[in-house]
Structures are given as structure tokens and as C-alpha cells.
Amino acid sequence: MGLEGRVALVTGGGRGIGRAVSLALAEDGADVAINYRRDEQAAADTVAEGEKLGRRVEKYHASVDAWEEDEAMVAAALSDFGAIDILVNNAGIASRGHSVVNTDPAEFERVWRIHTFGSFALAKLAGAAFGHVCTPEEVADVVRFLVSDAAGYLTDQKLTIDGGTF
């Protein structure tokens, strides 16, 4: 997909979906900053796989729900790579499966902080070179992707094409 010269920060990028995204971006030419919270070995293994693809890949420890950790991670990634062009907010946790009535407020806050606050914090810290007015060609690129075989598993999605502008 031609991502040479671009740098991606992938939260939760060391395992599962995040690992697959990190390696796919590296395969397409991006250098990758991999965030992890608890599984340093998985992050190190993903770094090694990305380096085998000829890309620069580094790992950064941070819990995305902690502002200070996000600040330190983004500062370190910017120092190492010089820029962050792509932000993939992949980090997440599963709720413990209770109904709303039976969900402890602390559990709800934990899920919210990781899924919502983490995405906000990283967009704020890393997303200042992202904003520009969308071009017709950028919308066309999204449409091109959606009708391609690469989007074969996407269904029933609402997409906002706004460059991450809040």
C-alpha cells in the first residue's frame, strides 16, 4: 500500500489484532512504534518480526489510560522516529460481561478510560501534523478500499472520513 517513509504508532501492538496490524503496516513500508502494557516478550517478538521485514520497529511500555505514560510514550516515539504519521488506537480490554445493572462503576470507568480516554489522549498528543482539509481523492481512496477484496470482512460500518479532526 506504499507506506514508505511513514511512522505508525499502534497501541496494543504486540499481540493479537494489534500485532497483525503492526506487521501489516511494516510489510507495507511503515516504521512502527509498538505500544504494550503487560506482555513485553510479545512486543519484543513483534519488533523482531517487523525488523525481518526491513522496517524500523520499537516497543514502548504505557497503559493508554494514564496521561503521564501516554505523554512519555509519545515523546519517546517522536524522539526515536521524528514523527508519528499514523495512529492506530487498538488497545482495549474486555468488559467482564455483566449487565449494566450489575456492572461495578469502577469496572465501567476502567473500560472507558482505556477505550475512550486512551484514544483521546493519544490523538491529542500525537495528532497535531494530521489535520488538513479532506480532498476528494482521499474520499475516493476510502471508497476504493471498501469495494476491494481487502475489505471483504467489513460489513455494516459507518465511516467518518475527516482525518481525525474532532
Domains of the chain listed by start with CATH number: 7-130 (3.40.50.720), 134-166 (no CATH)
For the stretch 71-119, pLDDT in tens is: 999 999 999 999 999 999 999 988 777 788 888 899 889 999 999 999 9
Q: Are 34 and 57 in contact (CB under 8 A)?
A: yes
Report angle CA 91, 19, 37 to the nearest 5 degrees: 40
pLDDT (tens digit per residue) in 116-151: 999 999 988 987 676 666 788 888 888 898 889 988
Cell numbers for 61: 511500555
3-class DSSP assignment, residue 134: coil
- Specify which residues 32 forms β-bridges with: 8, 57
User: Residue holding cell 496521561?
Assistant: 67
- Helices in the chain by DSSP H: which ranges? 16-27, 40-52, 67-81, 105-112, 118-126, 136-146
**Is residue 165's pLDDT more than 60?**
no
